[in-house]
Amino acid sequence: MALVTTKEMFSKAYNGGYAVGAFNVDNIDIMQGVLNAAVKTQSPIIIAVSGGALKYMHPAYVRYAALAASEECDIPIALHLDHGKSVELCKQCVDNGFTSVMIDASAYDFETNIAMTREVVEYAHKRGVVVEGELGAIAGIEDDVVVDDKYGSFTHPDDAVEFVHRTGIDSLAIAIGTAHGAYKFKPGQKPQLRFDILEEISAKLPEFPIVLHGASSVPKDRLDTFNSYGGQMPEAIGIPEDMLRKAASMSVCKINVGSDIRICYFGELRKMFALKPTKFEGREFLEPARAAVEEMVTDKIVNIMGSAHKA
Ligand SMILES: [Zn+2]
């Protein structure tokens, strides 16, 4: 099967009450771990590559690895640029075989965000590539949010409608309480997602795919492995899985997972290094780490995304 855009994936997910996972990959091993899980569960999948990961892996390697996967795996695979911070980077990825790009101009003012996003949409759509935009600040724990009205710093539904219509984007990342990184909440703070805002946005944008960023759940077993073998991330807290599952059943068609992949992969590597001090054959370490990614992604596809057997 060739690499595909997310268009059909999202319309099926919207109507089927599930989401498609977008998993951040930093190397080919992680990419294979993610793909193995998708094949095993017969799920559509989005391979997400950030600007930093693209630079590290090199665009041609990313492109051909994804093409190889699409030849080998009989499931729909989209190759997606995560958080493209410039119009130029998005165009480069469109030219480099990506089937989907995200332009993240959410740090700019509303009009600048619209102008930059619109430019990427015009370029991408002409070439058969879909575009994700972002509106609203997806917080990190360092941001102390002062809520002065019902929407606070979250995405305002009316802005979302105007943004979608004026840019022509294919999907929209919104801020409803998720956060990037492994420290989404302060210890003792109760994780909350604003489903009321999500519902309002969906009511004003029927059939339109919504994207959830910062949606790692920080599984306890993976974090324990990471911390048991020298890692030091004691206070990491993620989004509860039942909240993600609920979002997936609503208008959220794409759920991003980055931190969990890293905690899982590097936690397993830490463990293998500790347990096999006399080994130096790379596969002794890398195969279990790849298998751990496969196992965790399988769990997410089945229990959070709900996209198993939807390929
Ligand atoms: Zn993100």
Q: What is the pLDDT of residues 177-213, one digit of tens each?
A: 888 888 888 877 878 899 999 999 999 999 999 999 9
Ligand 1 centroid distance, CA of 214 (Å)? 6
**By C-alpha distance, which of 93, 69, 67, 61 is closest to 80?**
93
Question: How far is it, in rounded angstroms, from Cα 145 to Cα 236?
Answer: 19
In one letter, which amino acid is 259? Answer: S
Q: Which domains does the chain have, with CATH numbers?
A: 7-217+236-258+283-305 (3.20.20.70)
Note the pLDDT tens digit of each residue in 112-125.
Answer: 999 999 999 999 99
Average pLDDT in the 279-288 region? 96
Ligand 1 centroid distance, CA of 275 (Å)? 34
Active site residue 221: no
pTM for this prediction: 0.95
* Residue 91 structure tokens: 């165009």
Average pLDDT in the 285-289 region? 98
Q: What percent of the chain has pLDDT above 70?
A: 96
* Residue 79 structure tokens: 């190759």
Ligand 1 centroid distance, CA of 180 (Å)? 6
Ligand 1 centroid distance, CA of 82 (Å)? 7
Q: Which residue has the higher pLDDT, 310 or 140?
A: 310
Note the pLDDT tens digit of each residue in 35-50.
Answer: 999 999 999 999 999 9
pLDDT over 50 at 109, yes or no:
yes
Note the pLDDT tens digit of each residue in 125-134.
Answer: 999 999 999 9
Average pLDDT in the 219-244 region? 93
Ligand 1 centroid distance, CA of 66 (Å)? 21
Task: Give the model's pLDDT for residue 143.
Answer: 47
| E-assigned strand segments in the chain | 20-24, 45-50, 77-84, 100-103, 130-135, 171-174, 210-212, 252-257
**By C-alpha distance, which of 53, 117, 118 is closest to 80?**
53
Catalytic option among 82, 104, 170, 260: 82
Task: Give the model's pLDDT for residue 164.
Answer: 98
Task: Give the model's pLDDT for residue 149.
Answer: 64
How would you label 230-247 residue by residue, b for 16+ Cβ within 10 Å and e otherwise?
A: ebeeeebbbbeeebbbeb
Note the pLDDT tens digit of each residue in 136-179.
Answer: 877 654 445 555 567 877 899 999 999 999 999 999 999 998 88
Average pLDDT, the chain: 94
**Mode of pairing for the β-strands spanning 210-212 and 171-174:** parallel
